[in-house]
Amino acid sequence: MEARITNYGATIVGLTTPDRSGHFADVVLGFDSIRGYTSRAYLRESPYFGAVIGRYANRINNGRFALNGDMISLNINNRPSHLHGGLRGFDKVVWEGKPSGNASLQRSYESKHGEEGYPGNLRVTVKYTLTDDALEIECNARTDQDTIVNLTNHSYFNFKGAGEGNVLEHEL
**pLDDT tens, residue by residue, 14-53:** 999 998 899 999 999 999 899 999 999 998 888 999 999 9
Helices (H), the chain: 34-38, 40-45
CATH number of the domain at 102, please.
2.70.98.10
Residue 93 has pLDDT above 90, yes or no: yes
Residue 172 belongs to some domain of the structure: no
Residue 170 belongs to some domain of the structure: no
Residue 164 belongs to some domain of the structure: no
Is the whole model's pTM more than 0.85, yes or no?
Answer: yes
Domain range for residue 67? 2-153
Residue 128 belongs to some domain of the structure: yes
Residue-averaged pLDDT of the chain = 94
Percent of the chain with pLDDT over 70: 100
Residue 159 belongs to some domain of the structure: no
Residue 163 belongs to some domain of the structure: no
**pLDDT tens, residue by residue, 127-167:** 999 998 899 999 999 999 999 999 999 999 998 898 888 88
Residue 55 belongs to some domain of the structure: yes
Domain count, the chain: 1
Residue 75 belongs to some domain of the structure: yes
